[in-house]
Amino acid sequence: MNNLKRSSRNIWTIIATGILIVALMGSFGCSSRKEEKAPEQKEWKNLMFVNGLTQYWVQIDADTSKCGYINPEGTFVFLPQFEAGSRFSDNGLAAVLVDGMWGYINTEGKYVVAPKFRFAMDFADNGLAAVCIDEKWGYIDTKGKYVITPQFDFANGFSSNGLAAVCVGEKWGYINSKGEHAIAFKYEDALSFSNNGLAAVKKAGNSVTSMKKANT
């Protein structure tokens, strides 16, 4: 009788363990798409959605959080499985961090560009994204092909006027979408152009940021 009770307990232990494993697999991304409500639903109603999706963070434990994507109803479309993630761009791609490397997924959760970059920015309106590999920054298209080869020490995304602030050595300047120098590399710091056609730049020896118009 004792052996029978012990065997019964073992069977139920195995069943309970199996149920727990399946639950954990379903919760943390073994399947990229799942109908599951995000916790704390009062929060997602105020989020910004692009292509019907936005990133949503879930605390896994005291030291770990994961990023997934939800729809406007607060349902996970892609379960929390990424170390970090950006919003989807208008072209339907989002940068995600996996095992310390950045890549891009589409709205189906499929990798369009494999995770291989040290850093990666959102795609700009011109279809280019700034990425960093081997300590140099360049720009890729939506298929992951380099349009501007990695050569800069730092780079910002392209603005709506078609210019991007990049750094070579200790000097900042601006390039166009062909990688050509549009504004000379003579600034200690430079930010992206805003929609009003102005960008903040810092000249050598100047502690105050000044404004510069495009193409001047």
Closest CA to 214 of 162, 170, 148, 178: 162
Q: Where are the domains of the chain?
A: 1-30, 31-109, 118-216
Q: What is the pLDDT of residues 19-42, one digit of tens each?
A: 333 333 333 333 344 556 665 555
pLDDT at 48: 86
Architecture label for domain 118-216: Beta Barrel (2.40)
Is it the case that residue 54 has pLDDT exceeding 50? yes
Q: Tell me what percent of the residues of the chain surpass a pLDDT of 70.
A: 74
Does pLDDT of 215 surpass 80?
no
Q: Is the pTM above the cut of 0.75?
A: yes
Q: Which residues, other chains included, contact 72 with Cβ-Cβ below 8 Å and sequence gap of 6+?
A: 44, 49, 52
**Residue 145 CA: distances (Å) to CA of 114, 127, 128, 138:** 11, 11, 10, 10
- Tell me what pLDDT residue 8 has: 41
**Distance between CA atoms of 47 and 38, rounded to whole angstroms?**
13
What pLDDT sits at residue 62?
Answer: 86
Determine which of 82-91, 121-130, 183-192, 201-210 has the lowest per-residue pLDDT on average: 201-210
Least confident of 51-55, 182-186, 187-191: 51-55
What is the predicted pLDDT for the residue at 175? 98
The owner of tokens 């850093």 is 119
Cβ atoms within 10 Å of 61's Cβ, excluding its own: 6
Is pLDDT larger for residue 5 or for residue 207?
207
Q: What is the average per-residue pLDDT within 4-14? A: 39
Residue 206's pLDDT is 66
Confidence of residue 137 (pLDDT cuts 50, 70, 90): very high
